[in-house]
Amino acid sequence: MRRRANPAWLFVAPALAAIALFLFVPVFASLLLSFTDFDIYAVAALRNLRFVGFANYQTLLAEPLFWQALRNTLYFVAVGGPLSVAASLAAALLVNARLARCRPLFRTAFFLPVVTTLVAIAVVWRYLYHPRIGLINQLLAGFGVAPIDWLGDPHWAMPAILLMSIWKNFGFNMIIFVAGLQAIPERLYEAASLDGAGPWRQFRYVTLPMLAPTALFVAVMTMIGGFQLFAEPYVMTQGGPSNHTLSVVLLMFQEGFRYWNMGYAAAIAFVLFAILLAGTALQLKLRPLGGGPT
Amino acid sequence: MSLRAPFANCVRWLVVLAALATACAPREDGATVQFWALGHEGDAVARLIPDFERSHPGVSVRVQQIPWSAAHEKLLTAFVGDSMPDVFQLGTTWIPEFQALGALEALDSYVARSATVAPGEYFAGVWDANAIDGALVALPWYVDTRLLFYRSDLLAAAGVATPPRTWAEWSAALERVKRSVGPDRHAIFVPLSEWEVPVVLALSQDAELLRDGDRYGNFESEAFRTAFAFYLDLFERGYAARAGAGATASVYRDFAEGWFCFYLSGPWNLGEFATRLPPALADAWTTAPLPGPDARRPGVSLAGGASLAIAAHSARKEAAWQLVEWLADPARQVEFYRASGDLPPRRSAWQDPRLANDARAQAFRAQLEHVRALPKVPEWERIAAKISRSAEAVVRGEMAPAAALAALDADVDAILAKRRSLLAGASRDAE
């Protein structure tokens, strides 16, 4: 029998064409761009465009500012990622607990920051963080803590951004965890309790393993989101003080869209892409054993 | 009268409808000038346009308002996509960039023919900022510069009767204010993210920020080092807080509450302070020109603002020039000032009683006689960001001043590398 092309191709062809045209072509173009010194002079006349090979990548790797941005971003991912996942898991357990009252209310309340505009949130949080009149410092003063210049002190700015970012985003992962929790069959808990498992052991030996695929998904998405940190420092600090909240994407934005060094910015984008690819591969490798179906 | 009123109303409506019809449908004869104006200026100028169309029957204008935050990007994209408007508003620091693109029509011949645009009437520094390599590529529309805003009540309470005119007087005033307000408050607010403060101090010292035809950074010059030392002293002596922008959630609130006395800022704050400060403080603040380094030299500030430019590829340059020329008329500039609060670049417009009798605006009038253009290179914004970063690094104690300025020169040299190679290529081609 003659093999016939799967008719499914016909149905997905428009979508594939759109993806190819609007995703792969631009990505390939920017890869080419990263090997040139495309800048404002090249916009003026293409003869000012020079092919520079790996010079952009060499400059980038020799540039202290890039390493600082990378350090800041890694800090955000390494500290903020686990905290954010833990916060959303805790919130999910709370709003999913059978004993909790007004569950829809809390679910909505925890999810509200996710759908609120970041700029509006940032304005409010700037006041919360204000060293003199900010609510946070006034609360801390109650415990005898000296005022902290949250957004003005290089050592506190990133933690401040982190805290706000976790508060804004944990609701989204919480919803995913709630979905994961509700997919765990009740009979497993019943069996566990018959075997004499208390709440902690039920959590440890039933909830956690069954949540593993969800947790992996959440962890990967949180990591990718963390590496793409941009809007929070852009709105709150513009990368300051002393570049301590400058993220890789913010650096890329500044180079590309403020200063029009498109070649250099494209090189930053591809370095970030490589890091993300490696990070995701690593997490998939470390996938907890004994998890449910993925 | 009672009979004619409805009739007159009818006619008025017809006129309005006709105006709407012409505004909505671009004319085929090519005399519709596309005009991109930015932010709140776009709003103000749109109200003047009907007058222009009445006095220039052959020309109609379509004003498009573009938010400032998106303007730079939109103009660049329009240039790449070959869809530039005929006339557009351009921030002063963008002029060199758009000139490098070849997007701007040279206006010298238009000005030479014009009966109303008189170059000598404009503040010299502002005019110069619009001329690149001797060619005028944009016409100043309104001006921006930096000078001293201060709380006159706090200054008087500190025992200082007149605003400082020299750096020595300024230091003395800062010292007295600092002593009178106490350890928690400061004498001056200097946001660490702003390059403007070190730059205007350097301009006052007559520093050349770039050297050799703007090919290299020149921040280790004697003049810049002197200005930089004065800047650092503001923090060293505790006159200014070492905190970043985060320390101030609202400048207006802090100014009203007396957390600082002096603030270097621009004309937009004339309006902002007037509306945002509580009424009790309405007479408690004013402005003064920048103090000079010594009694012989005035304080020099930067020449900023916005200009009107005509696209090099416009098909309606004559009509476009008519609009630019009409908007440059002193009477129009006064109207524009009243609508927007933007200060006019022509001296004769300053004779308007509203400006002439406004002491706070008059400080700007005096300062505008002493303004200088910033280096006219497309890379200026990147260089400016490096300047504020270097200043911040020293203020925060991360670097020593000499090392920071050496690093700044090296950074700026690297930023200008492509410019140097293009200039070298151009001079080779010329030979």
Residue A151 is nearest to which of B246, B379, B419, comparing CB atoms?
B246
Q: Quick one: closest CA in A to B72, which residue?
A: A258
Contact A264, A56 (CB under 8 A): yes
Residue A179 CA to chain centroid, in angstroms? 20
How far off is chain A from B157, nearest CA to CA, in Å?
Answer: 24
Neighboring chain B residues of A134 at a CB cutoff of 8 Å:
249
Residue A237 is nearest to which of B246, B249, B419, comparing CB atoms?
B246
Residue B95 CA to chain centroid, in angstroms? 12
In chain A, % of residues over pLDDT 70: 96
Span A4-16, average pLDDT? 88
- Mark yes or no for CB contact A152/B243 under 8 Å: yes
Which DSSP state fits A102?
S
Q: What is the dihedral of CA A85, A89, A91, A94, to 10 degrees?
A: -170
A62 inside 8 A of chain B by CB: no
Return the half-sphere exposure (C-beta side, CA atoms, 13 A cut-off) of residue A254.
23
What DSSP line would sit under A63-84, residue for residue? Answer: -HHHHHHHHHHHHIIIIIHHHH
Instruction: Show the CA angle centred on residue B343, arms to residues B319 and B52, nearest 5°.
Output: 25
Q: Quick one: closest CA in B to A256, which residue?
A: B73
CATH code for the domain defined by B26-144+303-357: 3.40.190.10
A238 inside 8 A of chain B by CB: yes
Residue B80 is nearest to which of A43, A131, A134, comparing CB atoms?
A43
The amino acid that residue A199 corresponds to is P
Which pLDDT belongs to residue B4? 46
Return the half-sphere exposure (C-beta side, CA atoms, 13 A cut-off) of residue A175.
13
Alpha helices in B341-398 (DSSP H): 353-356, 359-368, 380-395
Q: Quick one: closest CA in B to A50, which residue?
A: B418
Which pLDDT belongs to residue B269? 93
Which pLDDT belongs to residue B30? 56
Taking the alpha carbons at both ends of chain A, their separation in whole angstroms is 36
Label residue A284 by pLDDT band (50, 70, 90). Answer: confident
B55/B144 Cα distance (integer angstroms): 30
Is it true that the peptide bond before A14 is cis, omega within 30 degrees of 0?
Answer: no
Tokens 């690297």 correspond to what residue? Answer: B414
Could you tell me the residue ranges of all domains in chain A? Answer: 56-285
Which pLDDT belongs to residue B18? 52
- B80: tokens are 């790449």
Return the half-sphere exposure (C-beta side, CA atoms, 13 A cut-off) of residue B43.
9
pLDDT tens sequence across A119-136: 899 889 988 998 888 899
Query: Is pLDDT above 50 for A294?
Result: no
What DSSP line would sit under A235-293, residue for residue? Answer: HHTTT-STTTT--HHHHHHIIIIIS--HHHHHHHHHHHHHHHHHHHHHHHHTPPTT---
Q: Which of A86, A85, A83 is nearest to A75 (CA)?
A: A83
A51 inside 8 A of chain B by CB: no
A269/A275 Cα distance (integer angstroms): 10
Neighboring chain A residues of B244 at a CB cutoff of 8 Å:
149, 151-153, 237, 240-241
Instruction: Show the CA angle centred on residue B38, arms to residues B37 and B40, nearest 5°.
Output: 110
A150 inside 8 A of chain B by CB: yes
How far off is chain B from A250, nearest CA to CA, in Å?
Answer: 14
- Mark yes or no for CB contact B245/A151 under 8 Å: yes
Contact B167, B231 (CB under 8 A): no
B410/B422 Cα distance (integer angstroms): 19
Residue B332 CA to chain centroid, in angstroms? 19
pLDDT tens sequence across A194-243: 998 888 999 999 999 999 989 988 998 899 899 999 999 998 888 878 88
Contact A203, A25 (CB under 8 A): no
The tens-digit pLDDT sequence of chain B (431 residues) is: 344 444 455 455 555 555 555 444 444 455 799 999 998 899 999 999 999 999 999 899 999 999 988 898 899 889 988 999 999 999 999 999 999 999 999 999 999 999 999 999 999 999 999 999 999 999 999 999 999 999 999 999 999 989 999 999 999 999 999 999 988 889 999 988 899 999 999 999 999 999 999 999 999 999 999 999 999 999 999 999 886 544 566 789 889 999 999 999 999 999 999 989 999 998 999 999 999 999 999 999 999 999 999 999 999 999 999 999 999 999 999 999 999 999 999 999 999 999 999 999 999 999 999 999 999 999 999 999 999 999 999 999 999 999 999 999 999 999 999 999 999 988 887 77
Q: Give the other-Cβ count within 10 Å of A280's Cβ.
A: 16
How far off is chain B from A169, nearest CA to CA, in Å?
Answer: 23
CATH code for the domain defined by B147-301+375-426: 3.40.190.10
Contact A118, A231 (CB under 8 A): yes
- Mark yes or no for CB contact A131/B192 under 8 Å: no
Which DSSP state fits B184?
S
A240 inside 8 A of chain B by CB: yes
ipTM of the complex: 0.77
Bin B133: left if φ > 0, else alpha if -120 < ψ < 50, else beta. left
Taking the alpha carbons at both ends of chain B, their separation in whole angstroms is 79
How far off is chain B from A170, nearest CA to CA, in Å?
Answer: 25
How far off is chain A from B329, nearest CA to CA, in Å?
Answer: 33
- Mark yes or no for CB contact B422/A41 under 8 Å: yes
Q: What is the CA radius of gyration of chain B?
A: 24
Neighboring chain A residues of B247 at a CB cutoff of 8 Å:
130-131, 149, 151-152
Residue A154 is nearest to which of B193, B381, B396, comparing CB atoms?
B396
| Parts of chain B belonging to CATH 3.40.190.10 | 26-144+303-357, 147-301+375-426
How far off is chain A from B90, nearest CA to CA, in Å?
Answer: 16
Residue B97 is nearest to which of A40, A126, A238, comparing CB atoms?
A40
Which pLDDT belongs to residue B248? 62
A108/A91 Cα distance (integer angstroms): 12
- Mark yes or no for CB contact B398/A130 under 8 Å: no
Distances (CA, A) of A41 to A18, A48, B32, B377: 32, 6, 31, 11
A56-285 folds as MetI-like fold (1.10.3720)
Residue A41 is nearest to which of B193, B381, B418, comparing CB atoms?
B418
- Mark yes or no for CB contact A258/B102 under 8 Å: no
Neighboring chain B residues of A254 at a CB cutoff of 8 Å:
385
- Mark yes or no for CB contact B246/A39 under 8 Å: no
Instruction: Show the CA angle centred on residue B90, arms to residues B85 and B94, nearest 5°.
Output: 120
How far off is chain A from B355, nearest CA to CA, in Å?
Answer: 35
Residue B187 CA to chain centroid, in angstroms? 25
B345/B136 Cα distance (integer angstroms): 15
Q: Which of A101, A185, A167 is nearest to A129 (CA)?
A: A167
A40 inside 8 A of chain B by CB: yes
Average pLDDT value for chain A: 89
- Mark yes or no for CB contact B389/A45 under 8 Å: no
Contact B302, B371 (CB under 8 A): yes
pLDDT tens sequence across A83-98: 999 999 999 998 888 7
Which DSSP state fits B358?
-
Neighboring chain B residues of A48 at a CB cutoff of 8 Å:
422
How many helices (H) does chain B have, and how many strands (E)? Answer: 20, 15
**Hey, CA dihedral for A132, A133, A134, A136, is it positive or negative?**
positive
- Mark yes or no for CB contact B247/A126 under 8 Å: no
Neighboring chain B residues of A149 at a CB cutoff of 8 Å:
243-244, 246-247
The amino acid that residue B339 corresponds to is A
How far off is chain B from A124, nearest CA to CA, in Å?
Answer: 10
How far off is chain A from B27, nearest CA to CA, in Å?
Answer: 31
